[in-house]
Chain A
Amino acid sequence: MATPPDSTIAISTSGLTKIYGDRAALSDATFTVPAGTICGFVGPNGSGKTTTIRMLLGLISPTSGSAYVLGEKISQPENYLPRVGAMIEGPAFYPALSGAENLKVLANLGGFPISRVTELLEKVGLGERGQSKYKTYSLGMKQRLGIAAALLPNPDLLILDEPTNGLDPSGIHEVRELIRSLARSGTTVFVSSHLLSELEMICESLVMLREGKVIFTGLTQELLKAQTPLIVAIPEYAVDLAKLVGIVTAAGFTSKVVAERLEISAPVDWSATLNRLAFEAGITLSAISKVLPSLEDTFFEMTGDAQ
């Protein structure tokens, strides 16, 4: 049973479980999201991300376990949802209403000032298309409207499910900047995405799911530190790659040929030895460097998924 968290914790779950029939969509999930940070929520499709988000928003009830959002039990969503903005599983609006009218419906519903609508449409770059019907919007515009709707309550906690889906590179950059600026002003952002590199760039902490189970929760930097850096060696001639693999294997390390380079799992200070051994074998290395694994590599390493 989770104890009510203090104001430094925006979300905390303890043993949160959701079972549909004989399938566990989420199993014994325990994690916390510190207040005022950007926390990434990562996992392959069907890993239970949306189920978790729906439980946090009071849309579905957990089979067992407990959770608190902004210090309130999730069984009483009316106590915290007025301070939460959310976009779940992409935007969903009334096609026959304009973007502005759709936001006004939600503003009326939540008791927020209608004046926020114009302000938010401008903020997400829909100022000129606010009066157009939602059904005429592109996927990117729909996504922007979803983000505007999530910002209506001027939230303490913003929950975004795949917010950059359908956006062009400049749109992705804008959303990333928006999330950063919200976090700077004290808003906690809990963002799920399949673009792991996207989360690596903006998230201070991460919750990783696989098959309904939390496999990592902590700081992004901690995750990156969890894996040994790789040595990347590029021989002058690609034909020397096989000989180079032989040298690495003989030294007791593992390696992987990627394109015309060799990625070696070995301590970084072994680079000098490698350079000498390669020279003695008549191989000239055109480059030798240390590479930190990306979050994506770490993620696939941990989840065991093939890239």
Chain B
Amino acid sequence: MINVVIAELRKLRRPTLLLSTLLTVGLLSGLFTSLVFLRVGAKGGNGKRGEAITAAELSHATGFLYGFKLVGTFLGLVALCVFASQTAQEYTYGTLRNLLVRQPARMKVLAGKFISMKIFAAAMVIFAGTITISLSYALAGHAKVSTSLWSSGAAMHLLAQATLNIFIQTLSFGLFGMILGLLFRSPISAIAVGVIWTLILETILGAVISSTSKWLPGANFSNIGEGGSLLVSYKHSLAVTLCYLLLGSLIVSVLFKRRDVAN
């Protein structure tokens, strides 16, 4: 298994993929954190869906995590695209046959791929966290936000919790992308279906029948990143996410193990 992980990391660390991902994550992290701090008190709000976050709220122990939490869903979408393309491209390039000749245990190939992408996702989350927190400190003065509580023990605990939640959220979106990649065997189709479902269809469904939001995969993945909400609890989202991903993983694992590699 470790051989598969090392081989997959070799593909993931290629400059074009690594630099473009880091650049995207860096830009998004910078953008969201800047909006939170530079638009304090502005009309139209500075948080998610127009929510207004005051300087006093930003001065709490959770203040430095607003940007990090805001960028969480987008980290998930980046992971969805990366995981889907890394999986489906094996079919479009015809490289799957090489992989399976060199490592015929198909479940090891799949597990190794997932572990390597997990490492990639963890690096992405840590990078986003570093950017958003550094920028929060840099912009705190401009927004007249006190940072004294940001380094307290409680703040460190909240940071660990937020990092874990955003990591679970990112990984859930990524695994969703990987499942789509294995089902569609085409990066373009897998990414298109994943992004359209998450950004458009779930929004429309949630707006038309609000009760569905509680059961939609993307909404629940995002809710984990936010640590739960008043409408949907963290535990509920974790359970729904687990059900979706276990079922999806089971289906694609059986398909991947049994399907002929004929391309």
Contact = CB atoms under 8 A, between A and B. Distances in A.
A141 interface: no
Contacts of A139: none
Contact of A109 (B4, B16, B89, B97): B4
Interface stretch (B6-14, B46-54, B218-226): B6-14
A77 B95 contact: no
A96 B14 CA distance: 8
Interface in A82-100: 84, 86, 88-89, 92-97
B101 interface: yes
A54 B262 contact: yes
A110 B105 contact: no
Interface in B1-55: 3-4, 6-7, 10-11, 14, 16-17
Task: Using C-beta atoms within 8 Å of the partner chain, give the interface range for chain B.
Answer: 20 to 34
Contact of A81 (B7, B14, B104, B260): B104
Contacts of B14: 94, 96-97, 101
Contact of B10 (A54, A95, A105, A110): A105
A108 interface: yes
B101 A84 contact: yes
Contact of B93 (A59, A60, A92, A152): A92
Point out which of B17, B89, B104, B262 has the most chain A C-beta atoms below 10 A from its C-beta: B104
Nearest to A101: B10
A59 B100 contact: yes
Given A86-B101, A110-B102, A93 B10 contact: no
A108 B6 contact: yes
B149 interface: no
Contacts of A301: none
B11 A106 contact: no
Interface string A156-185: 000000000000000000000000000000
Contacts of B4: 109
Given A89-B94, A93-B93, A108-B6, A81 B102 contact: yes
A262 interface: no
B98 interface: yes
A279 B208 CA distance: 100
Given A81-B104, A101-B10, A92 B260 contact: no
A81 B101 contact: yes
Given A59-B100, A84-B101, A104-B10, A109 B95 contact: no
Contacts of A54: 97, 260-262
A92 B97 contact: yes
Nearest to B95: A92
Given A59-B101, A78-B104, A78-B105, A96 B17 contact: yes
A105 B101 CA distance: 13
A109 B102 CA distance: 6
Interface in B63-101: 89, 93-95, 97-101
B103 interface: yes
Given A101-B14, A108-B7, A94 B104 contact: no
Contacts, number: 77
Contacts of B105: 78
Contacts of A60: 260-262
A28 B231 CA distance: 63
B156 to A, nearest CB: 37
Contacts of A95: 93
Contacts of B104: 58, 77-78, 81
Contacts of A97: 10-11, 14
A110 B262 CA distance: 21
A149 interface: yes
A95 B14 CA distance: 11
A252 B94 CA distance: 56
A109 B98 CA distance: 10
B262 A106 contact: no
Nearest to B89: A94
Contacts of B89: 94
Contacts of B103: 109-110
Contacts of B10: 97, 101, 104-105, 108
Contacts of A209: none
B13 to A, nearest CB: 10
A57 interface: yes
B97 A93 contact: no
A61 B93 CA distance: 22
Given A61-B260, A81-B101, 11 more contacts: A57-B101, A58-B101, A59-B261, A60-B262, A81-B104, A92-B95, A94-B89, A97-B11, A97-B14, A106-B102, A111-B3
25 contacts: A57-B97, A57-B100, A59-B260, A81-B101, A84-B101, A88-B97, A88-B101, A92-B94, A92-B97, A93-B93, A93-B95, A94-B14, A96-B14, A97-B10, A101-B10, A104-B10, A105-B7, A105-B11, A106-B7, A109-B99, A109-B102, A109-B103, A110-B3, A110-B103, A149-B98
Nearest 6 CB-CB pairings of A with B = A92-B94, A108-B7, A60-B260, A77-B104, A110-B102, A59-B261
